[in-house]
Chain A
Amino acid sequence: MTSDLTSDLIALVPTYGLWLIAATTFLSCLALPVPSSLMMLTAGGFVAAGDLGLGDTLAAALGGAVLGDQAGFALGRSGGARLLDRIARHPRRAALIGRTEALMQRRGGFGIFLSRWLFSPLGPWMNFAAGAARLSWRRFTLAGVAGETVWVALYVGTGAGFAGNLTAAMDLLGSSLGFLAAGAVTLGLGLWLRQALRPPRG
């Protein structure tokens, strides 16, 4: 069942529409506790009903999310990078930070992509980290936009596709993504174990 607070929030969607959606995805990308998934599902439901346009809704949600990511990245780059520079004055720590930055350059794009939708609670922190570890802006933006597109399409699409029963859509999407994320973690651990158990070469 939907709680009173949830229905109050949902009721804001037809009234404030696209601006509310954009503001919610923007804030959620900066780690502020706003129910962005719920808002996008709801918007999808109103898209299916004909109260909101599909293109407008997708654009608003994606626009807010991409701007939020950019803001987080810029914060990480200005504040975080300076902090790292200060820490890196010590040579041993400098080596560690150098390795982190290299890892971010090598694998960061994929991490950014997955943390947009599959591991979305990590998303905002990845933005700050990517900025601080000097991931190239181009790669951050490409991976970020791709990932946010999946996120937005998944939630708005589910809300729209679920034939006018948002409560059930929320339950189902929540549990499916949970399963998927748990599966991905298991797979990652398995790969790591295989790597760790492999006899050292040379």
Chain B
Amino acid sequence: MALFTLYWANPAHREQPLAGWMTLHYVAHSWHVPPETVITAARVPRPPDGGRPPHPRTLEEIARAQGISLDQLIARLQKAIAAAQARQPPQK
């Protein structure tokens, strides 16, 4: 258990490079930014009734729906995450 704690105390082991299988909430969790940051940057319209979509969508699906490449979407998210972290550095 001590090993686990030591391992995760290093922030480099937490932030996982963005990939097509991730959802927006997963990205926000992994990079310790508010979900709104990522959702806004992805330019995903909120459902009109305020509810959630039937299932959480992956970055791959979002990129396809917007007719852009996954790399383009990832670049956009990375920029937003970097900006958010510059405003408020992640804890620890």
Binds B, one of A119-127, A162-170, A186-194: A162-170
Which residues in B have their C-beta under 8 angstroms from that of A10? 21
Q: Quick check: B30 and A51 within 8 Å, CB to CB?
A: no
Report A-chain residues with C-beta under 8 Å of the C-beta of B25.
46, 49-51
The B interface is mostly helix, strand or loop, or mixed, namely: helix
What residue of chain B has the Cβ atom nearest to residue A8's Cβ? B21
Judged by a CB distance under 8 angstroms, whether A2 is at the interface is: yes
Contact A14 B29, beta carbon cutoff 8 Å: no
- Tell whether A34 is near chain B: CB-to-CB under 8 Å: no
Interface residue ranges of A1-47 to B (CB < 8 Å)? 2, 7-8, 10-11, 14-17, 45-46
Number of interface residues of B (CB under 8 A): 24
- Secondary structure at the A interface, as helix, strand, loop or mixed, is helix
Q: Is B19 an interface residue (CB 8 A)?
A: yes
Q: Is A48 an interface residue (CB 8 A)?
A: yes
A39 → B minimal CB distance (Å)? 12
Q: Tell me the nearest residue of chain B to A160, going by C-beta.
A: B29
Asked if A142 CB lies within 8 Å of chain B CBs, one says no
Q: How far is the CA of A150 from the CA of B25 in the complex (A)?
A: 27
Q: Which of the listed residues B8, B13, B23, B28 has the most CB atoms from chain A within 10 Å of its own CB?
A: B23
3 A-B pairs closest in CB distance: A164-B30, A11-B21, A51-B56
Question: Can you spell out 7 A-B residue pairs with CB atoms less than 8 angstroms apart?
Answer: A7-B21, A10-B21, A14-B56, A14-B58, A50-B25, A51-B23, A163-B30
